[in-house]
Structure 1
Amino acid sequence: MVRERTQDVQEEAEKVQAILSSMADGVLVTDAEGRLVTANAAAEELLGFRWTDVAYQPVSRSGLTHPMWEHVAQMIRHPDQPGNVVVEFPSPVDDSPQIINARAAPIRLNHDIIGVVIVLRDITALKEVERMKARFIAGVTHELKTPLSIIKLHVENLLAYYDRLPAEKQMELLHTVQNQTGLLDRLIDDVLTLSRLDTVHEAEWQTVNLPELVGGVVEELRALAQARNLTLTWQASEELPVPVIPDQFERAVRNLVDNAIKYTPAGGEIQVAVRQELADDQPRIRIEVRDTGIGIPPEHQQRIFDHFYRVDTSHTTPGTGLGLSIVREIVNAHGGSLHVESTPGAGSVFTILLPLHTPADTERAEQ
């Protein structure tokens, strides 16, 4: 009977240990004297220690160096107080910022506190998402405010002085309002596009002839290039069936060609090409948009894909600052990569490198 009971207790202990080991959150358990009774693997990884080295030692005197231990010790000293702290510090692995949320609760037996359980959660990624969201909202607010302010000012002037303004001035103000309204429309469309990129269903993937898709975009924009006295050439290759999300990929190519048209002075040339190539013996697609435009200074080349980042801070060239970030998101969703090479005053080359498979194909092959 005793043997069976002992075996039951051992099995229960093993189950508890298995549960702790499988948890993504770190767990620390101390007794009433503040000694570390147990810790799971997640806690060891988060705080950079081994439980076997400090087992059943008081946390305050165990030589533990991670800054989080100061907060753990504080929670243990006051087990009857609600414990919930968020602490940011350098990661013990690579000194990158790490944010840990620690929550403590007393362990009670017959109304007596016999220990403390502390749950540690790494919320670094969550906080970074919150920061990105805040920056994005701030960027949207700023970009919306500028055209709205201009529209408001011109409408007020028209309402107050319409009868006294010459016809040419009236038309100038109305055209400005029209242009700013168009900018607002493009900005809202770009923001909605970014929000939709995370909600793509597998059914939206289609195998298309990529040169035909890219060529269609080039033909759509040819009149715009001609109006700016630019030469837009299209180098087609053989038929290349490629799985893509057609609407999104058209948008990515259109943004790149449209950018080239915007930033290439009259008399310049824009070349668009699609071809298949081998990289490490693996086939891939290369799409290039090459222009003879104003180019991009080196210090800006890594940031031009950020939301709302613009090299032209004076906003003399119309745009929302989201075009290239949309291209990057779309290319990433297709498992590809986006690159830029540019020389100020000589032009730029934007390159999309695309594998001949979709991320969904890769996921299915691995299952």
Structure 2
Amino acid sequence: MPMEQVRAEAPRADSRPPPSAVSVEESLEVLVDVARRLTRAHQATVVLTPAPGKSKGASVTSLSRAYEDWGGYSVPSAEESARGAGRGRGTRAEPRGRLCVPLPSGAGMLHLFDREVGDFTREDDVALSGLVRLASLALESARLLREEQRARTEAEAAEQRAAFLADASRVLASSSLDPKATLDTLARLSVPVMADWCFVDLKDDTGAVQRTSVAHADPGEDALAARVWDFPPGPEGSVHPTTRVARDAESVLVHDVDEAWLRRVSVSDEHHDVMRDVGFHSLLSVPLLARGRSLGALTFLAVRPSRHYTQADLETAQDLARRAALLVDNARLYREARRSVRLRDEFLAVASHELKTPLTPLQLRLQWLRRQTSADLSSSLPASTVLSQLDVVQRQVDKLAGLVDGLLDVSRLSSGGMTLQREDMDLEMLAREVKAHLALAATQAGSQVSLFTRGDVKGSWDRVRLEQVLTHLLSNALKYGAGQPVHIELRDEGDQVLVRVEDAGIGISPEYQAHIFERFGRAVSERHYGGLGLGLYVTRQIVEAHGGEIHVRSEPGRGSHFEVILPRREPA
């Protein structure tokens, strides 16, 4: 408790016993006033012993009317009183006397300064000792009353927090799987019980923090709330507390918000002005944690001077945040499950179509050969005719085998069954082989393929698997390249080799770029572009198995750039 200084007004009565005080301060005021009058002193000061864990205790001073009229004396601090100071800046001589009497049970000390006539006497000492014994009873009663009031206040606050959590739990339990609507309700429920303002900020799929809910206690501040919406917590690396909470998954409690703090955490001058206009003096922000990861942050602001956040408030907020995070996580899991089911159904439909596609011409060629052979068993078909038909059959069989191999790859990857057979190899030679193998596909697509190599591109990799990577990337570029040139670049980057495949085709919308490397992920309709949607998924798995990374940069209508970074050697 910070040290308090209270000046007691001198009552007109010359002597009276200490009344039954309703507070510690009132008891002390009566004590110093009676003690001063009893001893005819110019100043009486009582200093209490600091409470456990506190550095300062309360002090109360009473001055005579002569001192007040003179104006050269002021109420001293507790430290000055304890040192015998307090004579004021106008004092020109040493005091004519000083008398100190301890309060019972080490509760503090009563100091008397400057007797009106002569020095303090033995009778003064005895009278004061009796006075403090009487006053101690009132002081002890006041302290007990204060403790009782504090305990009652804490009990009421705990009851209020429990009721709030119960209400919040009912809201969360009865909510739909729409986290946005539920979090809006939760934010409104928090005001004004827990806060004058409440924010909810969630991390999106890219990890950026976005503000999703704002609630405030004053209906007249809707315009300010709109401005608050315009200032989410700030970019990654920001020192704004909400961003730090969402990023580091650690709670933040700021007891005293001042101008320096606002300047330090604001992301812009306008952001600073908005926070200043909100006028909060304390902040409490806790992470939304689920399954060991942070989903965002729940933030409370205190504007009313009477609201001060405590450790108990922090624990309540953390409990609430855990419950809210469970809702958000369940909603996301539900959406992901529905998406997975939808992708599975789409994949089964596409797979059925893709597997039937090569079977149809294969069946037609075989039927034609059977009819020609059965029509005249004595004659034979020209070898060139048979070979041309067999070429068509072989291409369809190869296509069918490729589809089956893709499905087997996904099955092995899903069960963690991929193993690498590393060997020293030249990536340029492999790239030239893949380019030659897909020459017919490039001609059919109308795209010219160029290959550039810069520096040494040798390393230890799984040749078969990297052939798959290059084949998938080049096939993808030819399929979506819109007949434009395709460029392959291999570049030496020290301990790594960079593989870049660029096309100038249809490109990929930003909302699909995060999903194209997923199993069955697509950025285009399967009705317009064939395939099982497995190539980039398999590619990513192979690259990551080699300890590498794969990235894409793309804009709709301006093509796509795929980059693969491969360590030359197996990580130690």
Normalized against structure 2, the TM-score is what?
0.34
Q: Percent identity?
A: 28
More strand by share: 1
> Which residue in the other structure is 1:354 paired with?
566
The answer to whether the 8 A contact 1:147-1:181 is kept is no
For residue 188 of structure 1, report the CA deviation from its aligned partner.
Answer: 2.6
The answer to whether the 8 A contact 2:354-2:532 is kept is no
> Which residue in the other structure is 1:301 paired with?
513
> Which residue in the other structure is 2:404 paired with?
188
> Which structure would you say has the larger Rg?
2
Q: Deviations over 1:260-315 (max 9, x none)?
A: 0111123x10000101125xxxx321100011111111111111111112222252
Aligned pair partner of 1:262 in 451, 474, 479: 479
Q: RCO greater where, 1 or 2, for CA within 8 Å and sep 6 or more?
A: 1
Equivalent AA in structure 2 for residue 226 of structure 1:
T
Alpha-carbon distance in 2 for matches of 1:231, 1:148? 29
> Which residue in the other structure is 1:286 paired with?
498
Distance 1:148 1:306, change over 3 A: same
Alpha-carbon distance in 1 for matches of 2:473, 2:436? 14
Equivalent AA in structure 1 for residue 565 of structure 2:
L
Distance 1:315 1:269, change over 3 A: same
Q: Does 2:428 match 1:211?
A: yes
Alpha-carbon distance in 2 for matches of 1:324, 1:262? 13
Alpha-carbon distance in 1 for matches of 2:359, 2:403? 18
For residue 143 of structure 1, report the CA deviation from its aligned partner.
Answer: 2.9
SS class of match (2:438): helix
SS class of match (2:291): strand
How many residues are matched? 235
Distance 1:137 1:182, change over 3 A: farther
Alpha-carbon distance in 2 for matches of 1:222, 1:335? 30
The answer to whether the 8 A contact 2:460-2:568 is kept is yes
Equivalent AA in structure 1 for residue 545 of structure 2:
A
> Which residue in the other structure is 2:539 paired with?
327
Aligned pair partner of 2:348 in 141, 151, 158: 141
Distance 1:246 1:179, change over 3 A: closer
Q: Does 2:291 match 1:98?
A: yes
The answer to whether the 8 A contact 2:424-2:461 is kept is yes
Distance 1:189 1:151, change over 3 A: closer
Q: Does 2:552 match 1:340?
A: yes
For residue 194 of structure 1, report the CA deviation from its aligned partner.
Answer: 2.3
> Which residue in the other structure is 1:226 paired with?
443
> Which residue in the other structure is 2:417 paired with?
199
Normalized against structure 1, the TM-score is what?
0.51
> Which residue in the other structure is 2:490 paired with?
274
Distance 1:95 1:274, change over 3 A: same
* CA-based RMSD: 4.6
The answer to whether the 8 A contact 2:461-2:568 is kept is no
Q: Deviations over 1:121-142 (max 9, x none)?
A: xxx9xx99x9699787555434
Equivalent AA in structure 1 for residue 291 of structure 2:
Q
Alpha-carbon distance in 2 for matches of 1:298, 1:338? 16
Distance 1:222 1:315, change over 3 A: same
SS class of match (1:296): coil
Equivalent AA in structure 1 for residue 408 of structure 2:
L
SS class of match (1:308): coil
Alpha-carbon distance in 1 for matches of 2:359, 2:461? 42
Ranges in structure 1 where 5+ consecutive residues have no aligned partner: 1-62, 68-91, 100-123, 156-177, 363-367
Q: Deviations over 1:69-121 (max 9, x none)?
A: xxxxxxxxxxxxxxxxxxxxxxx96645439xxxxxxxxxxxxxxxxxxxxxx
> Which residue in the other structure is 1:249 paired with?
466
The answer to whether the 8 A contact 1:231-1:269 is kept is yes
Distance 1:136 1:342, change over 3 A: closer
The answer to whether the 8 A contact 2:354-2:531 is kept is no
Equivalent AA in structure 2 for residue 98 of structure 1:
R
For residue 148 of structure 1, report the CA deviation from its aligned partner.
Answer: 6.9
Distance 1:316 1:248, change over 3 A: same
For residue 256 of structure 1, report the CA deviation from its aligned partner.
Answer: 0.3
The answer to whether the 8 A contact 2:551-2:563 is kept is yes
Ranges in structure 2 where 5+ consecutive residues have no aligned partner: 1-161, 167-245, 250-286, 293-328, 364-393
